[in-house]
Amino acid sequence: MEGQREQIPLLTPYKMGNFQLSHRIVLAPMTRFRSYNSFPQSHAILYYSQRTTNGGFLIAEATVISRAAQGFKDTPGIWSKEHIDAWKPVVEAVHAKGGVFFCQLWHPGRASVQSFESNIGHPPVSSTDRPCSPFIDTDTGQVLLEYSPPRRLTPEEIILIVNDFRVAARNAMEAGKTQLEVTENSHFLSFKIKSGKMYTGFDGVEIHGANGYLIDQFLKDQVNDRSDEYGGSLENRCKFAFKVVEIVANEIGADRVGIRLSPFSNHMDAGDSDPEALGLYMAKSLNKYGILYCHMIESRAEATEDETDQWSDSLVPMKQAFNGTFIAAGGYVRENGNDAIAQERADLIGYGRLFLANPDLPKRFELDAPVNKYRRDTFYIGDPVVGYTDYPFLNDDQR
């Protein structure tokens, strides 16, 4: 079996900074809307543990950096001691199985639904005061979400949000100092406090600079209409992102920091007139800060599911420009993921929906076994089991 693993590029080991990974398959961050009132629940322990392998790398779902940034219901936070405590058993469950676990730090900016909890009456903030278009179901034409008109951030407020990222990063590193022993079968976990090894918190953080959320709203010239030091030129539009990277790296160490970017994406109306230039400038400039990895989303992520065989080399210049670990994501399957690793177009491959539907994805890739199909209508329903922890593992006779 080990000989078979060595022939599969995705299953070869990789040293990511100080982290020794056993394979190249990464659990990509995916918003799940199961953290009731902003706190991770016990079902998150099972969800992440199911997808953990010894030496595997997981990135947690987008996690809100401050109360004011809570733009969606039931997304997790990391801004308070109570959030740190809520994340601890989740982090411990992943560590107990030998996984490497990063927390994705998120501010949605204008892509917010400000109709609940403490944010009622307070508009979301952004690089602009122009609102985001409603989220529409492309199959039915039904408006699913209406986004509130945003307020343009002042330079002084930008610095305060940069500091919120710093505090959230520090909190993430604290989220895991309990001592936990985990017993698992495919769908159930039991826990007990144990003596011995003391785990740290999250192993690091990923700054969410993609998908039309706040940092991306500054990066993209189709959203950023500012005329101050944070707008206009490419260099100015990237300043906010670099301030966040710098302060987080100084707080927890650059060797524990990654960033996710989507230069080709038009998600949440956040497109750019020259995405290649934006992606390349970011990749080159990030070297100054010495961060651990850059996580880029392929241009084909904007394509339909029927077009996923049209692979591109859009990220190759960014990969060549960046000195650290380069993670590629966006519509990958087993075959083209192996090709990307073998051809050195990426160091690691992020899998989202495929990993969601197949909690034992590395094993399935190893055996070239059939994969479960994901159920799109259960992605965001908030159920603690359905579409979350109920996807089947391989049968015993397939292992």
Question: Would you please indicate which residues are annotated as catalytic (active-site) residues?
Answer: 213
Which DSSP letter does residue 266 get?
-
d(Cα 233, Cα 255) in Å, to the nearest integer? 29
Tokens of 252: 């927890």
d(Cα 203, Cα 103) in Å, to the nearest integer? 8
Locus of tokens 């990509």: 28
Locus of tokens 């629940």: 41
Distance of CA 277 to the CA centre of its chain: 23
Locus of tokens 């604290």: 174
Helices (H) and strands (E) in the chain, counts: 12, 16
Q: What's the farthest any 2 CA atoms get from each other in the chain?
A: 63
Backbone phi, psi, residue 25, to 5°: -95, 120
d(Cα 351, Cα 337) in Å, to the nearest integer? 9
The candidate with the shortest Cα–Cα distance to 119, out of 35, 34, 240, 38, is: 38
* Paired sense of beta strands 100-106 and 57-64, if any: parallel
Residue type, position 227, single letter: S
The candidate with the shortest Cα–Cα distance to 94, out of 20, 39, 44, is: 44
Rg for the chain, CA atoms, rounded? 20
| Residue 45 near residue 39, CB atoms below 8 Å | no
The three-point CA angle 121-170-163 to 5° equals 50
Total residue length of the chain: 399
